[in-house]
Structure 1
Amino acid sequence: MSLTPSMAAPWKQLILSALETNAHLKHNRFIQLATVTPNGQPSNRTVVFRSVGTSPIHGSNSVLVGGLTSLMHHILIPQSYREKAWFSSSLNSRLQYLVPHPGLPRIVDEPEEGVDLDPLKGPVNAFCVLEFDPEKVDYLNLKTNERLVYKSEKIGDRMRHWVIQEVNP
């Protein structure tokens, strides 16, 4: 097994290539996000994978996920990034953020009044974008039976050193 140092995020191109290769499969835009609730219970939900890019806040490589409700306040990501993610979604997707009380049982007796959404108006409060700044990326290619583990080590405030290790699948 070999260790290879790198300053840039070497895993970024692998993710971008996989997304491009499988762009015709719509379900590849969704990922699972597991968290722990304030009372210590595990929680898992499906979120929309938006992009891999340079962080608007930290200047480093990061993963941006959009389409979340009730997980984190959107003030962490600049409004322009929220708007870009919002307008890249279909109108039907945007309408989903206007339903009352996500995650609570639906009350069938309540009449559904028409939900009005101005297609030119920016993101609603229930929509946010999360930025993940990974310390470790585990890449597995099932076609080639190759598995690489990328571990990040910080150098100062803004620099990273990535160590790549080939491991058994």
Structure 2
Amino acid sequence: MFKRQASDIHFIAVTFVLVALLGARTFFNLTEEEALSVEPVVASQNSMASSRQPASVPAAAMATQKPESALQQFTQFDLNCSKKAEVKVSVNSGFVQLQGKSCGKGIHEGDVEIVNKSNGYTASIFARGTDRYQTDLIQLNKGENEIAIRYRERSGKSVEEVIHVHSTKI
């Protein structure tokens, strides 16, 4: 009924032969035992280290660095508890966080403003209970920073106290 043309049979035969040849070649490549060439590996001094280190940091630099503790950046400063002389603080980072006690009527939003006069950064102040406060991280410039704390006394008098913070690194 339906008779295939010679070109169809020819195409199928050629395809079968090509697949058989490629299959046989692949089979022999996979089953053939080949002698593996062993190349000596030269170990570098860094790979001989007992612990893993980033490749971009020299080993000597890793050993000398000591991580900074975030607790070293807290500075205790009580508002209106007693008139203080000039306060000086030194930190080893690019920021400082103030926390302390408000001996007056407590901390209310807008009553206290803390500004780093050296760079213009205004700190956010968080009330921690009725008589305690804490700031966010106040950004510092390297070297001397003058932080002004402005608040109102019970009498309504505006007071500004200054803390001098020395930052040794950024």
Same fold, TM-score > 0.5, yes or no: no
Normalised-by-shorter TM-score class: under 0.3
Greater Cα radius of gyration, structure 1 or 2: 2
**TM-score of the superposed pair, with normalisation by structure 2:** 0.20
Q: Structure with the greater relative contact order (CA < 8 A, sep ≥ 6): 1 or 2?
A: 1
**TM-score of the superposed pair, with normalisation by structure 1:** 0.20
The structure richer in strand per residue is 1
